[in-house]
Each structure stands twice: as C-alpha cells, then as structure tokens.
Amino acid sequence: MTSTISTPAEEYRALREGCGLADRSWMGRLEIRGADRHRFLNAYVTCDVKGLAPGEGAYGFLTSHQGRILSDLVVTALEDRLWLLLPPGQDEAVASHLRKYILADRVEVLPLADMLPVTLIGPRASEALGDAEPPPPGDWRHVRSRVHGTEVELQRSGRLGAEACSLWVSASVAEPLIEELLRNPAVRRVGVEALEVLRAEAGIPRFGQDFGPENFPQETGAEEAVSYTKGCYLGQEVVARIHYRGGVQKTLRSLIFDGPAPAPGTPLLHDGREAGAATTVVESPALGRALGLGILHRRAAAPGTRLEVQGGGAAEVRAA
C-alpha cells in the first residue's frame, strides 16, 4: 500500500525529516535541438551555456534588451539536446521569444511534454533512490540511471530549500514509478503549499511571485545565475553596467512578521514611505510565525530594519 499525506503540516514534516515526493509536471518545459543549440541559447541567457558539457546544468535568466527578466530557467545539457525547466505557464512565451531570433541557426525549440520531473526532496531523498547512484555533487549535475527498474535522467536539483533529486522520466511510465517510490515509508507526496513554505524559509524567490519582468537579475539576489565573463547576450550591456557601476536600488530580503500574516502584495513602509511589498507570505512551522520575502529599496533593506506593514503590524528584515 502506498503512503498518503492529508495535511500541509504532514507534508512539511516529510520535507524536513524524511522525503517528500513532488510531481512537478506543472513546471514549464522546452527542448532545444540542433548543432548550434549551445551557441544559440548562450546569446539570450545570463548563465554560461556554451561551456556546459553533457551531465551538467545551470540556472539563469532570460533577459530583454533592457536587461530585465523575461523568465528564469534551468538548462540541462544532454548529449544531443538541451532541456529547459521553466516557471509554470512560461513554455509558449519563452519558445516564441527564442524562435523569433532563429535565422540561419541550426536549432529547433520544441515542447518537452513527454518528459516529466518527479522530485524527491528532503534529508532522505538519496535513500529513496534504492540502488541508484546519485549524480556527482553540484546543483544541476545529472546522470542516466535506472531507479527501481525505470530509466530516468537523475539530476541534483537546487533552489528548493533542501537536498533534492529530480527524476526526469517518460510521461508514459511516470505514475508506476511514483507508486513504486511511495512504497518506501519515508517517502510522502507533497504539494505546492508545503514546497512554498520550504522555499520561503530558505529565502529563495520565485518568478511570477517575488520577481518578474519589472526586475533586473541583481534584484533577486541570485548572483550565481549571472556570468560576467561569458560574453555578449541580449541585455548583457545593461546587466554588466549595473554590476560594475554601483548595483541596483532594490534587493531581495526575507521578512519576519509580527502578528498575523499580511496578504501578498501588501505594501511595506519605512519612515512613513513605501519601501517595497510583501510578495511570498507563509506560516513557518520552524519559526512558529509568519515569514515571507520581498524586494525592498536598499534604504530599508539592512538586516534588522523594522518595517511597518500597511494596514497594521510590523516586519523585521533579515538577509535572504
């Protein structure tokens, strides 16, 4: 009999103490094929794609001419193609953006609906793999493997708030594999709500929730997503100028709230002036209080700064 989880609190406990299983088929997915795939994609994202060997991956941003974020993405390099993991609902927009730049390039931008990421998250994630060897250390490293008899691309996944491995598996055999994984008593299904708490506690922002097309990469705090040595890409001049000439006026911060959790989007005030807004807001079991994320003006972003929550309450800034 497979195990089930009935409440977000139980799901959260599985993520912290055991292993949560998340079917992340809601995530956007694309595939880029063709001989010029590395060179082509490298010209439109902030991370270094040109240097990725099969078995490696990278997190980065797709940017506009103005250097603002069109999407974030994880690039996974295989022998003959690149996979892109995208925020939910971003498949068509990203595909359309990339295709308009295909001229003489030998590339195709295709949907990746036939491969799903099933993710194991938590301190016992590796144990749930059975006899399969995990990939080498390092976020986004991956290997071809068999997990409980099913062929998968097994990848170390970052930016989730805990140790995690994603099993990229054919959609046709995903459910039997999930059922087999759930036979392990340490493994429990988890949903979006528990994943959001884990992410917020780790100070990891999400596209469409904490940042979006109005933001520059440096405002997200994800400096590892930007290479300043890879050469030109769309928006590179603006992103580099910000980096070398003093930085941005706003930056991501974690927030701890006094009193009830405010609604996402609630303005935050410092010395009577608006300094930003609460974006992600969750109830943290680890802290026993509400916490969240927000992109704040740097005059109010120093850890320890006290902010007024519009409509009542207060928040304290901490480093994301």
Domain boundaries, the chain: 8-24+115-201, 249-320
Mean pLDDT by runs of 10 across the 320 residues of the chain is 63 96 98 98 98 98 98 98 98 98 97 97 95 93 97 98 97 97 96 96 97 98 95 96 91 94 96 97 94 97 97 91
pLDDT value of position 1: 40
Residue 155 bridge partners (DSSP): 142, 166
Q: Which CATH superfamily is domain 249-320 in?
A: Aminomethyltransferase beta-barrel domains (2.40.30.110)
Please enumerate in sequence order all residues whose Cβ is within 8 A of that of 141, keeping only pairs 6 or more positions apart, or say none. 55, 56, 57, 135, 155, 156
Per-residue H/E/C for 112-144: CCCEEEEEEECCCCCHHHCCCCCCCCCCCCEEE
Instruction: Identify the CATH class of 8-24+115-201.
Output: alpha beta
Report pLDDT digits (tens) over 221-247: 998 999 999 999 999 999 999 999 988
pLDDT value of residue 220: 97
User: Given strand 150-156, what is the order of strands in its sheet?
Assistant: 142-147, 150-156, 164-170, 115-121, 19-23, 187-189
Query: Alpha carbon 64 to chain centroid distance?
Result: 19
DSSP string, 154-214: EEE--SSSS-EEEEEEEGGGHHHHHHHHTTSTTEEE--HHHHHHHHHHTT---BTTTB-TT
